[in-house]
């Protein structure tokens, strides 16, 4: 029996998962992340190798039984990056087929099997990728400015809104208590000083994104305005990319993946769907079914077998639930 190893390497975490040709997941392992443009290729490979070794150990599978490794790697944004990383991984695993892509591409296959479509993946940061009918692929990567970088951008916008509300420039908001309780500061003045002077704290507030979205779900005006402006700016960039790829009028899937889009109800998903569908009227917006690592494994099955049928999907659903890799997804449209 041949196995597929999926890799999802982000700047914060690296995941490895093992799947068989029938779509059943056998193991899942998580360790530290890496960003190869900053940390170097060797550092990225070392973490990937660690994740693969432990995923195989958990499943009691030998490396000789692995047929393909599909690695979604953060930082693969420019021409030549895929080939460089594929060659580097092939040197470590010379007898195994290697497929490398940007990590948001594997996220697409966690929601859709259509080879034509696009994905927006928002976690701590953000990326998007588009796959055109003529085979062209566009990874947006650094085209998306810092004020759109996923949870990091949303949490910073929310803290700035708390400061403006304290100043009197914005309405009172439940976000004030959220940030004060999280920081254990008594005043917004002290919260602001800590944010400016404590780099670690400025990263910790990213964990508040689910609560910020929940505040919007509960009709907090300030929280809604934050997500409204974020959505409008992000959708404008994404729609421009669809137009650039001649995909604006296509019937295709747009997958929303990443922690920012999670939750049984999510105000951000709802307003983004409305914004995108106003211009790209034929698209179907899908919230990812699985964590991106499962998408890497599914892409591996398709590469080996040539298809991914209903029975395989049933096996994946059942085994993904066992390993905690199913997502709680809101209805987009």
Distance of CA 141 to CAs 102, 105, 261, Å?
9, 12, 18
> In a 3-state reduction of DSSP, which class is residue 261?
helix
pLDDT of residue 332: 46
Q: Which CATH number fits domain 112-287: 3.40.1390.10, 3.40.50.150, 3.40.50.720, 3.30.420.40?
A: 3.30.420.40
Alpha-carbon dihedral angle through residues 233, 235, 239, 244, given to the nearest 10 degrees: 50
Across the chain, mean pLDDT equals 94
Phi and psi at residue 68, in whole multiples of 5°? -150, 145
pLDDT of residue 135: 93
Kindly report whether the global pTM for this prediction surpasses the value 0.75. Answer: yes
Q: Is the pLDDT of residue 78 over 60?
A: yes
Please name the residues in contact with 70: beta carbons below 8 A apart, sequence gap of 6 or more.
4, 5, 6, 7, 99, 100, 101, 106, 296, 297, 299, 300, 303
pLDDT band at 1 (very low <50, low <70, confident <90, very high): low
- Range list of H helices, the chain: 36-39, 41-59, 81-92, 103-108, 150-167, 175-183, 188-197, 199-204, 209-217, 221-244, 267-279, 292-305, 310-322
Mean pLDDT of 261-283: 94
Domain boundaries in the chain? 3-110+290-322, 112-287
CATH superfamily placement of domain 3-110+290-322: ATPase, nucleotide binding domain (3.30.420.40)
Angle, helix 81-92 to helix 41-59, in steps of 10 degrees: 50
pLDDT of residue 331: 44
Per-residue model confidence as pLDDT tens digits over 137-191: 999 988 999 999 999 999 999 999 999 999 999 999 999 999 999 999 999 999 9
Rounded Cα distance, 104 and 8, in Å: 9
Q: Is the pLDDT of residue 200 over 80?
A: yes
Rounded Cα distance, 316 and 228, in Å: 35
Q: How many CB atoms lie within 10 A of CB 313?
A: 14
Per-residue model confidence as pLDDT tens digits over 90-107: 999 999 999 999 999 999
Report which of 314, 291, 313 is spatially closest to residue 302, judged by C-alpha positions: 313
Rounded Cα distance, 153 and 251, in Å: 31
**Token output for 54:** 């432990």
Q: How many CB atoms lie within 10 A of CB 42?
A: 10
Rounded Cα distance, 67 and 131, in Å: 26
Question: Pairing relation of β-strands 66-73 and 126-131?
Answer: unpaired
Q: Is the pLDDT of residue 333 over 90?
A: no
pLDDT of residue 328: 60
Q: Is the pLDDT of residue 330 over 60?
A: no
Residue whose structure tokens are 């993904």? 320
Per-residue model confidence as pLDDT tens digits over 143-152: 999 999 999 9
Per-residue model confidence as pLDDT tens digits over 291-323: 999 999 999 999 999 999 999 999 999 999 999
Same fold, 3-110+290-322 and 112-287: yes
Phi and psi at residue 117, in whole multiples of 5°? 165, -155
Mean pLDDT of 27-51: 95
**Considering only 49-53, 74-78, 274-278, 309-313, which range has the smallest mean pLDDT?**
74-78
Mean pLDDT of 241-251: 97
Per-residue model confidence as pLDDT tens digits over 106-118: 999 999 999 999 9
Q: Is the pLDDT of residue 329 over 60?
A: no
């Amino acid at each position: 029996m041949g196995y597929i190893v999926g890799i999802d390497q982000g700047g914060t975490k690296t995941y490895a998962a093992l799947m068989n040709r029938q779509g059943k997941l056998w193991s899942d392992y998580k360790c530290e992340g890496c960003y190869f443009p900053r940390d170097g290729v060797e550092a990225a490979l070392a973490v990937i190798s660690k994740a693969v070794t432990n995923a195989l150990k958990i499943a009691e599978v030998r490396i000789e039984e692995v047929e393909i490794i599909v690695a979604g790697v953060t930082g693969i944004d420019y021409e030549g990056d895929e080939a460089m990383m594929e060659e580097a991984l092939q040197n470590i695993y010379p007898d195994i087929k290697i497929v490398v892509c940007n990590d948001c591409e594997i996220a697409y296959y966690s929601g859709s099997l259509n080879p034509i479509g696009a994905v927006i993946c928002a976690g701590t940061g953000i990326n998007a990728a588009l796959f055109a009918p003529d085979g062209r692929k566009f990874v947006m990567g650094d085209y998306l400015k810092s004020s759109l970088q996923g949870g990091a951008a949303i949490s910073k916008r929310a803290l700035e809104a708390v400061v403006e509300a304290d100043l009197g420039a914005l309405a009172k908001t439940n976000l004030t208590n959220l940030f004060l309780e999280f920081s254990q500061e008594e005043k917004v003045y002290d919260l602001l000083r800590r944010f400016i002077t404590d780099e670690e704290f400025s990263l910790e507030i990213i964990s508040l994104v689910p609560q910020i979205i929940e505040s919007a779900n509960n009709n907090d005006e300030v929280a809604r305005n934050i997500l409204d402006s974020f959505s409008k700016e992000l959708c404008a960039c994404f729609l421009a990319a669809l137009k650039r790829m001649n995909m604006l009028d296509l019937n295709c899937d747009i997958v929303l993946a990443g922690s920012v889009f999670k939750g049984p109800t999510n105000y951000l998903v709802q307003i983004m769907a409305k914004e995108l569908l106003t211009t790209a009227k034929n698209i179907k917006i899908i919230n990812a079914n699985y964590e991106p690592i499962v998408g890497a494994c599914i892409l591996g099955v398709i590469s080996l077998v040539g298809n991914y049928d209903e029975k395989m999907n049933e096996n994946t659903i059942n085994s993904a639930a066992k390993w905690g890799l199913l997502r709680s997804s809101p209805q987009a449209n």
